[in-house]
């Protein structure tokens, strides 16, 4: 029964289904009975619940993902900024004190051209700076308790590594054209990209920050003129450098008036010290050989004095006195140079109180008075008088070696040897310079009572006392007669030497007037340019008290040697140095042809053609630029420049400006600025302390040096190179104090400007003297004015402005041929922002 019922039930269900299906099969719409809805609601509810669950779980999943992303972002950004911090610290360190490190770890960057270095250099292995900065930075990271991972073993953020690479190395001056050599060329200068990386791990996330910055390796030697202690492109008048009256005892003759300067009186000489090293020459020191003597000379600063006259085609006269003044002077060349191929003698100190005891009482003695020209002499085969024997004068048509243009080349080559009491200073004078050397006067005789021979030099004898002696003694009087004679053929400057003012009569140029008659210096001699006189210490050699006498006729015929430096060997006239086609080379290695050995040539060209603009200053070498064209006035420019170049150290009152970063800085001033004092920029409103080397180029207008510029001095010269170059302007020395000390090279070589001056209205307390430890390159350093011919007359002239004179001490670190040239090259990161990128550091 139960089974039957079950069958019926199933059968009924089957019928019901069949009923539902049959209309479809029959083509009719299905019909629903209310009982069919049973379970539908449940299905709908389940479906809705399912959809809600799916939606909410999806939403939750998305939110979780977003949450994770946000948290990841937070961790990522934290790691990013830590990586950037580390990168910045390393990058700053590279910019500030990387110099020493990179010079140690990668010296080839500073002494090899880019072409020999390949395209990139990895410094990570070569330098410990990466590891050290990494360790230091990790020390910093270990203070970040806030970022420490949770848990007992939670770790601080970790600096995984730092890297430095130099990439895309290229030469700054690849050209080897004559134009490039005229502008100067340092083949080592290069540019490239510094790539610095810092990798940080924070909470398992690694981030690497990469910074690419443009760098340059540039020389802090601005141009070819830095080979010179004093570089003057133009000499308005032949005797520009001899306008100072000096008495026989070395004191300045303030009563002396220089006739060509319309009776102007100058009171302070210009001293030029061509080096820093001192030499205590004793009897145990070997004599210099020709080779090491030449090497020694190569390390001295040279002097260039441009041609004289309105057409720049006349010679320049320099009368170089001996300098009897004990404190500043000494005697030069009292020994005599050896003949060719013999060792060159070091000059001799005359210990006046020992070998040449000054005599204050003449009458009891028999004496003779003699004189000897001092200074350099050149020698060449067949011409024992050297350059002095050449017919170098216009109008002189005789002589087989006569070349009309010779007088414009140079009659002066090595001024050799000079120096101060403690500083020897020999130099090469380049230019059409006729140098006259002072005779020194001596007496020798026999004491009538003892028969003892004595010798004496006049030293520290006042003019009045000497004149008294002269007046009282006829023998002396005979020596006091001035030179008179016939000059045939007539020479330029005759008036100066024969019938001109008294001082020139007493300082005759040996080169042109080798007359043995000794003129007597009594009233004073004119000079302004002093090549610092030296006083070498040497105990017994040569035995001056044992030789017949310096005035012996035998020594008049002595041949004198001038070191024949390689730079001079192609010169047509031995001992003369041209200025219009000369070279400055890095090494003395026999390779002096810029076509075949371009990388040994620093300069090849005409010295008178050098200007600041094209003297290698602006040819791809600028590392930092400051554009002041939007400034409204000079004060705004001043403030911007000072902030650009310096950082102030110390308080407002006693603070100094320290050079902030190394490099070559171009200051572009606003339009319309003139070279007047009113428009001039003040270089610094505080004393400048040189910490980083720099070259500052101002494109227009003048520069006021109101404060000293000083830095650390090592080996007698400023260790930090500083150059100030004006493209079109003057240097004005202003401010307080009696002396302005500048550890810098000053250069202004524009044809229409370029002087070192005091302000138009000179304050009593402003410096009347300058001391430059570096070098001085100016367009004109005239000593007097001529309104008819001097285009810059309204500004005055250098030595008339500086009534207390000046000193130029050459800094050998500026010498491109010197051993310090490698150190002059610096690694500079440019001001451009560089490219910073962050990326995952991988596993």
What is the C-alpha separation between 531 and 529, in angstroms, rounded? 6
Displacement of CA 539 from its chain's centroid (Å):
38
541 binds another protein (CB under 8 A): no
Binding another protein (rule: CB under 8 A), the pick from 20, 122, 140, 762 is: 140
Q: Report CA torsion sign: 141, 142, 145, 151.
A: positive
Please, what is the minimum distance in Å from the beta carbon of residue 833 to another protein? 9
Closest approach, Cβ 93 to another protein, in A, equals: 6
Instruction: Answer yes or no whether residue 9 interacts with another protein by CB under 8 A.
Output: no
Q: Rounded to whole angstroms, how far apart are CA atoms 448 and 450? A: 6
Residues in the chain: 843
837 binds another protein per the rule CB under 8 A: no
- Per rule CB under 8 A, is residue 450 in the interface with another protein? no
When the beta carbons of 48 and 736 are compared against another protein, the nearer one is 48
Strands (E) in 532-687, as ranges, are 582-585, 601-605, 624-627, 646-649, 656-659, 663-668, 681-682
**Tokens found for residue 145:** 């308790």
> Is the torsion defined by CA of 698, 703, 706, 709 positive or negative?
positive
Specify the stretch interacting with another protein by CB under 8 A; choose among 136-144, 510-518, 537-545, 623-631. Answer: 136-144
CA 35 – CA 32 distance, rounded (Å): 8
Measured from the CB atom, the residue of 123 and 303 that comes closer to another protein is 123
Per-residue binder mask for another protein (CB under 8 A), 602-641, x = binder: ----------------------------------------
**Is the CB of residue 456 less than 8 Å from the CB of residue 357?**
yes
CB of 132 to another protein, least distance (A): 4
Coil, strand or helix at 397: coil
Distance CA 339, CA 337 (A): 7
339 near another protein, rule: CB under 8 A: no
Q: Are 622 and 669 in contact (CB under 8 A)?
A: no
Nearer to another protein by Cβ, of 100 and 761: the residue is 100
Q: Would you tell me how many other CB atoms lie within 10 Å of the CB of residue 471? A: 11
- Among 6, 16, 22, 67, contact with another protein (rule: CB under 8 A): 67
Q: Interface with another protein includes 834 (CB under 8 A)?
A: no
| Phi-psi region at 478: left, alpha or beta (left = phi > 0; alpha = psi -120 to 50) | alpha
d(CA 603, CA 180): 8
Q: How far apart are CA 189 and CA 172, in angstroms?
A: 6
Closest contact distance (angstroms) between CB of 80 and another protein is 9
Which one of the spans 71-79, 262-270, 530-538, 713-721 is the region binding another protein (CB under 8 A)? 71-79
Q: Report d(CA 235, CA 244) in Å as an integer.
A: 16
Q: Which is nearer to another protein, 33 or 545 (CB)?
A: 33
Nearer to another protein by C-beta: 144 or 552? 144
Considering the complex, state which of residue 46 and residue 482 has its C-beta at the smaller distance from another protein.
Answer: 46
Report d(CA 583, CA 571) in Å as an integer: 11
Contact 681, 713 (CB under 8 A): no
Query: Is-cis flag, bond preceding 489, omega within 30?
Result: yes
DSSP string, 124-142: TTT-SHHHHHHHHHHHHHT
Q: How far is the CB of 196 from another protein (least distance, A)?
A: 14
Shorter beta-carbon distance to another protein: residue 4 or 42 = 42
If the CB atoms of residues 101 and 811 are measured against another protein, the closer one turns out to be: 101
Among residue numbers 640 through 679, which ones bind another protein (CB under 8 A)? 643, 647-648, 651-652, 660
Task: Please work out the total of residues on this chain that contact another protein, with binding judged by CB under 8 A.
Answer: 58
Region from 77-85, 280-288, 371-379, 491-499 binding another protein, contact rule CB under 8 A: 77-85
Alpha helices (H) along 780-836: 798-801
Q: Does 71 participate in binding another protein (rule CB under 8 A)?
A: yes
Quick one: which segment of 133-141, 178-186, 492-500, 673-681 binds another protein (CB under 8 A)?
Answer: 133-141
CB 618 within 8 A of CB 591: no
Residue 453 · residue 443 · CB < 8 Å:
no
Considering beta carbons, is residue 34 or 543 the nearer one to another protein? 34
Q: Does 150 bind another protein (CB under 8 A)?
A: no
Q: Which is nearer to another protein, 146 or 381 (CB)?
A: 146
Q: Which residues contact 478 (CB under 8 A, 6 or more apart)?
A: none
Residue 144 binding another protein, by CB under 8 A? yes
CA pair distance 296, 274, nearest whole angstrom = 12
CA distances from 526 to 160, 243, 539, 770 (A): 73, 6, 33, 21
Q: For residue 147, count other CB atoms closer than 10 A to its CB.
A: 17
Q: Pick from 92, 149, 167, 453 the residue near another protein by CB under 8 A.
A: 92
Phi-psi category of residue 460: left, alpha or beta, with phi > 0 → left and psi -120 to 50 → alpha: left
Residue 73 binds another protein, judged by CB under 8 A: yes
Q: Which of 146, 361, 381, 632 binds another protein (CB under 8 A)?
A: 146
Residue 13 binding another protein, by CB under 8 A: no
CB atoms within 10 A of CB 573: 22
Least separation, in Å, of the C-beta of 146 and another protein?
A: 4
Which of 147, 155, 403, 762 is in the footprint of another protein by CB under 8 A? 147
- Residue 147 CB, nearest distance to another protein (Å)? 6
Residue 696, CA distances (Å) to 220, 545, 641 in order: 10, 54, 10
Binding to another protein (CB under 8 A) within 371-400 occurs at: none
96/401 with CB nearer another protein: 96
Q: Which is nearer to another protein, 6 or 97 (CB)?
A: 97
CA dihedral of 339, 344, 349, 354, whole degrees rounded to 10: -60
- Residue 839 as a binder of another protein (CB under 8 A): the answer is no
313 binds another protein, rule: CB under 8 A: no
**Dist CA 222 CA 536 (whole Å):** 33
Q: How far is the CB of 429 from another protein (least distance, A)?
A: 45
- The one among 135, 448, 595, 837 contacting another protein by CB under 8 A: 135
Give least dist CB 41 to another protein, A: 6
Using CB under 8 A, which of the segments 131-139, 223-231, 710-718, 815-823 binds another protein? 131-139
Identity of the residue, 57 or 555, whose beta carbon is nearer to another protein in the bound complex: 57
- Residue 475 makes contact with another protein by CB under 8 A: no
**Following CA atoms 637, 643, 644, 649 in sequence, which dihedral angle do they give, to the nearest 10 degrees?**
150
Q: Tell whether residue 74 is a contact of another protein (CB under 8 A).
A: yes
Backbone φ and ψ for 471, nearest 5 degrees, come out as -70, -30
Nearer to another protein by Cβ, of 16 and 545: the residue is: 16
Q: Which stretch binds another protein (CB under 8 A): 140-148, 265-273, 438-446, 800-808?
A: 140-148
Helices and strands of the chain, counted as H and E runs: 14, 39
C-alpha 836/C-alpha 656 separation (Å) is 34
- Between CA 280 and CA 283, with CA 281 as vertex, the angle to 5 degrees is 135
User: What span, in angstroms and rounded, lies between the C-alpha atoms of 577 and 557?
Assistant: 24
- Tell me the per-residue interface mask from 32 to 51 with another protein, x by CB under 8 A, - otherwise: -xxx-xxx-xx--xx-xx--
Q: Does 69 bind another protein (CB under 8 A)?
A: yes
Interacting residues toward another protein by CB under 8 A = 33-35, 37-39, 41-42, 45-46, 48-49, 52-53, 56-57, 59-60, 63-64, 66-67, 69-71, 73-74, 77-78, 81-82, 84-86, 88-89, 92-93, 96-97, 129, 132-133, 135-137, 139-140, 143-144, 146-147, 643, 647-648, 651-652, 660
């Amino acid at each position: 029964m139960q089974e039957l019922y079950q069958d019926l039930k199933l059968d009924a269900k089957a019928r019901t289904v069949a009923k539902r299906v049959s209309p479809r099969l029959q083509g009719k719409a299905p019909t629903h009975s209310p009982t069919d809805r049973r379970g539908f609601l449940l299905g709908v509810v389940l479906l809705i619940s399912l959809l809600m669950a799916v939606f909410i779980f999806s939403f939750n999943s998305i939110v979780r993902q977003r949450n994770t992303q946000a948290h990841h972002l937070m961790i990522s950004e934290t790691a990013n900024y830590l990586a950037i911090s580390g990168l910045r610290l390393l990058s700053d360190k590279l910019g500030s004190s990387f110099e020493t490190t990179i010079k140690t770890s990668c010296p080839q960057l500073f002494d090899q051209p880019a072409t020999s270095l390949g395209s990139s250099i990895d410094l990570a292995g070569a330098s410990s700076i990466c590891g050290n900065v990494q360790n230091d930075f990790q020390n910093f990271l270990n203070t970040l308790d806030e970022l420490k991972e949770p848990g007992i073993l939670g770790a601080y953020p970790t600096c995984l590594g730092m890297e430095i690479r130099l990439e895309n190395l290229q030469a700054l001056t690849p050209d080897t054209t004559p134009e490039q050599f005229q502008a100067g060329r340092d083949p080592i200068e290069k540019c490239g990209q510094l790539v610095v990386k810092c990798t940080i791990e924070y909470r398992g996330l690694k981030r690497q920050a990469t910074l690419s910055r443009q760098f340059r390796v540039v020389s802090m030697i601005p141009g070819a003129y830095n080979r010179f202690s004093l570089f003057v492109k133009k000499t308005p008048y032949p005797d520009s450098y001899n306008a100072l009256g000096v008495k026989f005892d070395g004191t300045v003759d303030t009563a002396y008036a220089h006739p060509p300067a319309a009776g102007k009186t100058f009171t302070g000489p210009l001293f030029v010290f061509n080096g820093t090293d001192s030499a205590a020459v004793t009897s145990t020191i070997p004599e210099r050989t020709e080779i090491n003597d030449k090497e020694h000379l190569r390390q001295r600063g040279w002097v260039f004095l441009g041609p004289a006259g309105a057409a720049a085609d006349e010679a320049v006269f320099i009368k170089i006195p001996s300098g009897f003044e004990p404190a500043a002077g000494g005697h030069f060349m009292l020994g005599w140079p050896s003949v060719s191929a013999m060792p060159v003698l070091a000059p001799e100190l005359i210990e006046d109180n020992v070998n040449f005891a000054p005599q204050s009482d003449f009458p009891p003695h028999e004496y003779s008075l003699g004189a000897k020209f001092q200074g350099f002499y050149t020698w060449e085969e067949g011409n024992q008088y050297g350059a002095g024997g050449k017919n170098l004068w216009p109008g002189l048509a005789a002589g087989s070696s006569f070349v009309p243009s010779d007088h414009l080349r140079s009659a002066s080559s090595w001024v050799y040897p000079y120096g101060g009491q403690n500083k020897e200073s020999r130099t090469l004078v380049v230019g059409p310079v006729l140098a006259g050397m002072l005779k020194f006067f001596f007496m020798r005789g026999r004491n009538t009572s003892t028969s003892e021979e004595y010798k004496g030099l006049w030293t520290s004898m006042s003019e009045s006392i000497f004149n008294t002696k002269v007046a009282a003694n006829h023998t002396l009087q005979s020596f006091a007669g001035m030179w008179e004679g016939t000059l045939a053929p007539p020479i330029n400057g005759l008036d100066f030497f024969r019938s001109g003012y008294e001082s020139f009569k007493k300082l005759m140029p040996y080169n042109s007037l080798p007359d043995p008659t000794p003129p007597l210096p009594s009233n004073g001699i004119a000079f302004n340019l002093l090549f610092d006189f030296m006083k070498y210490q040497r105990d017994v050699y040569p035995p001056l008290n044992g030789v017949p006498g310096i005035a012996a006729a035998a020594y008049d015929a002595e041949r004198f040697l001038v070191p024949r430096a390689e730079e001079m060997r192609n010169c047509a006239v031995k001992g003369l140095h041209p200025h219009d086609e000369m070279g400055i080379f890095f090494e003395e290695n026999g390779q002096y042809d810029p076509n075949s050995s371009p990388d040994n040539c620093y300069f090849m060209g005409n010295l008178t053609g050098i200007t600041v603009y094209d003297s290698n200053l602006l040819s791809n070498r600028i590392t930092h630029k400051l554009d002041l064209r939007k400034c409204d006035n000079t004060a705004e420019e001043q403030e911007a420049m000072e902030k650009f170049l310096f950082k102030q150290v110390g308080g407002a009152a006693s603070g100094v400006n320290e050079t902030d970063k190394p490099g070559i800085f171009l200051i572009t001033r606003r339009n319309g600025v003139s070279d007047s004092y009113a428009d001039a920029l003040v270089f610094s409103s505080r004393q400048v302390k040189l910490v980083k080397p720099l070259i500052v180029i101002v494109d227009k207008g003048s520069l006021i040096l109101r404060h000293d510029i000083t830095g650390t001095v090592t080996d007698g010269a400023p260790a930090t190179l500083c150059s100030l170059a004006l493209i079109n302007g003057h240097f004005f020395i202003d401010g307080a104090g009696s002396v302005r000390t500048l550890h810098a090279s000053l250069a202004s070589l524009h044809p229409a400007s370029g002087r070192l001056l005091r302000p138009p209205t000179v304050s009593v307390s402003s410096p009347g003297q300058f001391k430059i430890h570096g070098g001085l390159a100016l367009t004109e350093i005239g000593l007097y004015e001529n309104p008819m011919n001097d285009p810059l007359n309204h500004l005055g002239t250098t030595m008339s402005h500086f009534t207390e004179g000046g000193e130029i001490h050459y800094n050998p670190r500026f010498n491109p041929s010197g051993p310090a040239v490698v150190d002059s090259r610096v690694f500079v990161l440019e001001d451009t922002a560089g490219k910073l990128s962050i990326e995952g550091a991988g596993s």
